[in-house]
């Protein structure tokens, strides 16, 4: 639509100045027609401009929503990494570190109990994902704590409190905090079951196991906090992208508000234009009738005189 | 250009010689025009309120984004500090209870700091955004109401115009009849 073109025969530039003869009512109608013509032309221009702006705003909304979606995808990706590093890996490394500390302190028998404790802790922590009922998960946590206590390591019990807290196993922490059993049960069993040779073999195995557990514990004590720190960094990155997504949502909201205003302007301009056209047609019709009546009157007068 | 804010037309009966019917029509037109002008002012105010409320909502959303980022940064920094202390403690031979205590304190404080600097102000900004959204919706209703009043006023003006035209037509018919009678 070219708003600059005058599409009506009664365009403002083509209407004669107000020196036409006629009744006062007729002159008033002409005034109103001129007013409607001006408003109609302005409405057409307004509609054309609003349409262009509306197209731009819709494109802005679409682009902003697309950017928000992409930012949320990035946020989810980094949040997943954060959960994997700071949650799963850090928890596993903590549990391994605690178990290794128990083995270092108490020997071979503690290794078996520590393995049981690891399995029970992990099962309790991931009970929901594995589909384990809550009561069973709580029971596994208690079993983990009992295993830790039976391994005889006070430090292991304290570590189980921290691991259970991070893994949300309240029962395990309560069991671990209850106390610890004296160490050395495993070595005493080996001595009583065989002779001196069996005792020496068992002692060498315990020494080897203790050294390995020490190394594993050292590595785990570094991996656990490192994974936790890396997970925190990944979560920060995820939060950054999440905030970017909200910023893009705000941009979309702003464009939508302007779009609403433009729609209101277009509606108002359309109503104005429609009304202007209706009035023009109405007044044109009435003017024609009035002029016809005047002509008839004049004809009758002439006929009368004749 | 906002045509809705265009200047209204005012008719002065002194400037046009009118019979009584014409003057009545002018009075009605002026009255409807006054109502329409008042409705247009209300519409302009409602539009301004809508713009302000929308801007406030957008501003609150941006503040919320900033708060989320700030809270996550603080929490991440605290966790990273705790991790650094733990790694240093692991690398150092022997057991340092003070280092373990610092790491535990930083690790425990991290989620609290995250909530204090992030979640709590973000929730507040979220509430502000919702409040601004409600105000914008209210302003939009006021805009619709003003539009309805304007429509009614213009419809009444159209009817007055039609009435004035019919009076004019009747007069013309009467004059024609009189002339025909003389003739």
Distance CA B77, CA B82 (A): 9
Given a cut of 50, whether residue A57 has pLDDT beyond it is yes
Distance CA B115, CA B38 (A): 50
| Residue A275 neighbours by CB distance under 10 Å | 19
What pLDDT does residue B113 have? 92
Write out the two tokens for A245: 């997504």
Q: Does A43 contact B at CB distance below 8 Å?
A: yes
How far is residue B167 from each of residues A258, A293, B174, measured CA to CA in Å?
46, 13, 10
pLDDT by residue (tens digit) across A251-281? 999 999 999 988 988 888 888 888 888 877 8
Write out the two tokens for B66: 């900033």
Burial of A134 by CB count in 10 Å (0-12 exposed, 13-18 middle, 19+ buried)?
Answer: exposed
| Residue B128 neighbours by CB distance under 10 Å | 17
What pLDDT does residue A295 have? 81
Side-chain-side CA neighbours of residue A306 (13 Å)? 6
What pLDDT does residue A25 have? 65
Mean pLDDT of A18-38: 71
pTM, 2 dp? 0.66
Nearest to B73, CA basis, from B122, B136, B5: B122
Identify the H or E element spanning A293: helix A196-305
How far is residue B53 from each of residues A257, B4, B152, measured CA to CA in Å?
10, 21, 28
pLDDT by residue (tens digit) across A181-222? 333 434 444 444 445 566 666 667 767 777 887 888 888 888
DSSP track, B56-81: HHHHHHHHHHHHHHHHHHHHHHHHHH
Q: Which residue of B has its CA nearest to A228?
A: B83
Q: For chain A, what is the mean pLDDT? A: 72
Instruction: Look at B51 and A24 and tell me if their CB atoms are within 8 Å.
Output: no
* Per-residue confidence band for B101, with pLDDT thresholds at 50, 70 and 90: confident
The C-alpha of A286 sits at a distance from chain B's nearest C-alpha, in angstroms, of 7
Q: Does A67 contact B at CB distance below 8 Å?
A: no
Side-chain-side CA neighbours of residue A58 (13 Å)? 8
Chain B positions touching A250 (Cβ under 8 A) are 58, 61-62, 65
What pLDDT does residue B63 have? 95
Mean pLDDT of B96-122: 89
Chain B positions touching A26 (Cβ under 8 A) are 168
Identify the H or E element spanning A187: helix A185-193
Given a cut of 90, whether residue B39 has pLDDT beyond it is yes
Distance CA B168, CA B21 (A): 9
Chain A positions touching B72 (Cβ under 8 A) are 235-236, 238-240, 243
What pLDDT does residue A8 have? 40
- Of A3-12, B30-39, B91-100, the least confident: A3-12
The C-alpha of A110 sits at a distance from chain B's nearest C-alpha, in angstroms, of 22
Instruction: Look at A250 and B62 and tell me if their CB atoms are within 8 Å.
Output: yes
* Higher-scoring residue by pLDDT: B43, B169: B43
| Residue A80 neighbours by CB distance under 10 Å | 12
How far is residue A28 from each of residues A127, A294, B11, measured CA to CA in Å?
86, 17, 9
How far is residue A222 from each of residues A94, A115, B89, measured CA to CA in Å?
9, 20, 9
Q: Does A125 contact B at CB distance below 8 Å?
A: no
Residue located via tokens 């009747």: B170
What pLDDT does residue A204 have? 73
- From the list A226, A269, A289, the residue facing B87 with the nearest CB is A226
The C-alpha of B34 sits at a distance from chain A's nearest C-alpha, in angstroms, of 17
- Expressed in angstroms, the distance from the first to the final Cα of chain B is 57
* Higher-scoring residue by pLDDT: A183, A27: A27
Highest mean pLDDT among A101-105, A133-137, B83-87, B173-177: B83-87
Mean pLDDT of B20-41: 88
pLDDT by residue (tens digit) across A107-157? 655 666 666 666 776 776 676 677 767 777 777 777 766 766 665 544 444
Given a cut of 80, whether residue B157 has pLDDT beyond it is yes
Mean pLDDT of A14-41: 69
Are A140 and A191 a contacting pair, CB within 8 Å?
Answer: no
The C-alpha of A285 sits at a distance from chain B's nearest C-alpha, in angstroms, of 10
pLDDT by residue (tens digit) across A219-234? 888 888 888 899 999 9
What pLDDT does residue A109 have? 58
Q: Which residue of A has its CA nearest to B137?
A: A257
How far is residue A264 from each of residues A17, A258, B42, B105, measured CA to CA in Å?
35, 10, 15, 57
* Per-residue confidence band for A47, with pLDDT thresholds at 50, 70 and 90: confident
The C-alpha of A192 sits at a distance from chain B's nearest C-alpha, in angstroms, of 34
Mean pLDDT of A38-65: 88
- From the list A28, A46, A289, the residue facing B3 with the nearest CB is A46
What pLDDT does residue A170 have? 39
Instruction: Look at A268 and B4 and tell me if their CB atoms are within 8 Å.
Output: yes
DSSP A53: H
Nearest to A25, CA basis, from B167, B176, B15, B156: B167
Share of chain B above pLDDT 90, in %: 47
Indicate the SS3 state at residue A169.
coil
Chain A positions touching B57 (Cβ under 8 A) are 253, 257
Write out the two tokens for B50: 């809508």
Instruction: Look at B69 and A240 and tell me if their CB atoms are within 8 Å.
Output: yes
Instruction: Look at B161 and A29 and tell me if their CB atoms are within 8 Å.
Output: yes
Chain B positions touching A218 (Cβ under 8 A) are 90
Q: Which residue of B has its CA nearest to A287?
A: B165
Nearest to A68, CA basis, from B62, B70, B122, B120: B62
The C-alpha of B54 sits at a distance from chain A's nearest C-alpha, in angstroms, of 6
The C-alpha of B50 sits at a distance from chain A's nearest C-alpha, in angstroms, of 9
* Higher-scoring residue by pLDDT: B3, A136: A136
Q: Residue A5 region, left (φ>0) first, then alpha (ψ -120 to 50), else beta?
A: beta
pLDDT by residue (tens digit) across B110-152? 989 999 999 999 999 999 999 999 999 999 999 999 989 988 9
Distance CA A80, CA A27 (A): 78
* Higher-scoring residue by pLDDT: A185, A289: A289
Given a cut of 60, whether residue B35 has pLDDT beyond it is yes
* Angle, alpha carbons A165-A167-A171 (nearest 5°): 60
* A 205-224 → B contacts, CB under 8 A: 218, 221-222, 224
Are B119 and B98 a contacting pair, CB within 8 Å?
Answer: no
């Amino acid at each position: 639509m070219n708003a600059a073109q005058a599409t009506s025969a009664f365009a403002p530039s083509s209407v004669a100045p107000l020196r036409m003869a006629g009744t006062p009512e007729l002159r008033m109608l002409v005034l109103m027609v001129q007013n409607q013509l001006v408003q109609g032309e302005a409405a057409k221009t307004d509609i054309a401009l609003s349409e262009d702006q509306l197209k731009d705003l819709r494109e802005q909304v679409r682009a902003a929503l697309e950017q928000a979606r992409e930012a949320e995808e990035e946020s989810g990706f980094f949040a997943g990494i954060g959960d994997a590093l700071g949650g799963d890996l850090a928890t596993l490394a903590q549990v391994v570190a605690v178990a290794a500390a128990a083995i270092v302190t108490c020997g071979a028998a503690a290794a078996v109990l520590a393995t049981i404790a690891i399995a029970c802790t992990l099962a309790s922590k991931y009970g929901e994902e594995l589909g384990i009922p809550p009561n069973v998960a709580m029971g596994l946590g208690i079993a983990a704590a009992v295993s830790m206590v039976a391994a005889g390591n006070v430090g292991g019990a304290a570590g189980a409190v921290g691991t259970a807290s991070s893994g949300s196993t309240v029962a395990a922490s309560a069991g671990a905090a209850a106390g610890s059993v004296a160490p050395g049960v495993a070595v005493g069993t080996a001595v009583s079951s065989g002779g001196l040779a069996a005792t020496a073999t068992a002692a060498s195995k315990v020494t080897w196991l203790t050294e390995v557990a020490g190394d594993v514990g050292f590595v785990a004590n570094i991996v656990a906090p490192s994974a936790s720190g890396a997970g925190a960094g990944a979560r920060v990155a995820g939060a950054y992208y999440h905030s970017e997504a909200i910023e893009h949502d705000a941009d979309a909201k702003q464009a939508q508000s302007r779009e609403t205003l433009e729609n209101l302007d277009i509606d108002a301009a359309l109503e104005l234009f429609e009304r202007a056209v209706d009035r023009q047609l109405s007044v044109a019709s009435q003017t024609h009738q009035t002029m016809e009546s005047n002509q008839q009157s004049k004809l009758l007068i002439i006929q009368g005189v004749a | 250009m906002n045509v809705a804010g265009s200047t209204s037309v005012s008719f002065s009966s002194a400037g046009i010689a009118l019979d009584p019917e014409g003057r009545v029509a002018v009075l009605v037109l002026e009255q409807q025009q006054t109502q329409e002008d008042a409705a247009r002012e209300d519409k302009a105010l409602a539009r301004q309120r809508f713009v302000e409320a929308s801007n406030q909502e957008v501003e609150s959303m941006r503040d919320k984004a900033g708060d989320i980022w700030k809270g996550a940064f603080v929490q991440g920094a605290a966790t990273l500090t705790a991790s650094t202390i733990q790694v240093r403690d692991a690398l150092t031979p022997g057991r340092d209870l003070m280092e373990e205590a610092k790491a535990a304190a930083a690790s425990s404080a991290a989620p609290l700091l995250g909530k204090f600097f992030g979640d709590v102000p973000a929730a507040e900004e979220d509430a502000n955004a919702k409040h601004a959204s409600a105000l914008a919706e209210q302003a939009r209703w006021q805009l619709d109401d003003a539009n309805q009043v304007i429509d009614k006023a213009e419809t009444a003006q159209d009817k007055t115009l039609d009435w004035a035209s019919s009076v004019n037509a009747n007069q013309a018919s009467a004059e024609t009849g009189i002339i025909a009678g003389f003739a």
